[in-house]
Amino acid sequence: MIGYLDLVLRLVIWFLLTADFSPANIIIGVCVALMLPRNRTLTAALKDWLHVLWEILVAIPQAYFEAVEIMLRPHAKEDIVMEHVKPNRTPGLIFLDIYLISFTHKTIVLKYHENGLYEVHRVRRRRRAKQGKPAAVKRINS
């Protein structure tokens, strides 16, 4: 199933890059997309992928909102939080998760631990009760 998504992504990039829908170009694009090496060993549920892609779309306006929020009010506190990785994630999905966390501006992933934890750095206005389920919190000087 993921093979299709992979192929579609390559074709989209190809057509955006060339901006040409002549038959010859379409044939070249399909050939290139099929010839590039693919990772066949990992398959994840299409539902998970669509879910993450949808979350990325939603994250764009949220990122703008957070940016304006940081601009208007000073965020003086910083801390580092450990977040759990959702179960049964393939490396591709973990990459997208890290991407999603880093894309919004109050959080950035520092490190991915092999035992299923993300190390996330956050900025915030003041200290308060933690959201989510952090396993451990380590304050750093701000």
71 part of the interface to another protein, by CB under 8 A: yes
Site string for another protein, 78-117 (x = CB under 8 A): x-------------------xx--xx-xx-xxxx------
Ranges of beta strands (E only) in 63-116 are 77-84, 107-113
- 131 exposed, middle or buried (CB, 10 Å; 0-12, 13-18, 19+)? exposed
Residues 6+ apart with CB under 8 A from 124: 75, 77, 78, 79, 106
Shorter beta-carbon distance to another protein: residue 40 or 126:
126
CB of 59 to another protein, least distance (A): 10
Residues 6+ apart with CB under 8 A from 7: 33, 34
Q: Which of 1, 13, 27, 53 binds another protein (CB under 8 A)?
A: 13
Segment interacting with another protein (CB under 8 A) among 14-22, 33-41, 45-53, 127-135: 14-22
Contact at 8 Å (CB) between 44 and 4?
Answer: no
Which sign does the torsion angle of CA 106, 81, 103, 61 carry? negative
Shorter beta-carbon distance to another protein: residue 6 or 78:
78
| Contacts with another protein, residue ranges (CB under 8 A) | 13, 15-19, 60, 63-64, 67, 70-71, 78, 98-99, 102-103, 105-106, 108-111, 119, 121, 123, 140-142
